[in-house]
Amino acid sequence: MIPIGMLSFMFRSSFILKCTTYFSLFINSKFLYPLLTYISHSLLFNAFIRNYNHIKTLYGQMHSKFIIFEHV
């Protein structure tokens, strides 16, 4: 007869093993890669939105200069 403590320890170790294997499978699965790319893209997009006004003003200055050159 196996003691209850031993059984619980065995169950716990197997549960941890299952969790780690499922976690590694989840990391290697096709679900997490698009999720990571989506997160990185959203972060890049937010940075772009933050810098958009700055870019717009620079582009406006450049465009006005080009218009002046075109008219001359």
Q: Tens digits of per-residue pLDDT, 13-64?
A: 666 666 666 666 666 666 666 776 777 777 777 777 777 766 677 666 665 6
pTM, 2 dp: 0.28
> CA-CA-CA-CA torsion for 23, 24, 28, 33, nearest 10 degrees?
40
Per DSSP, helices labelled H in the chain are 4-28, 32-71
d(CA 63, CA 59): 6
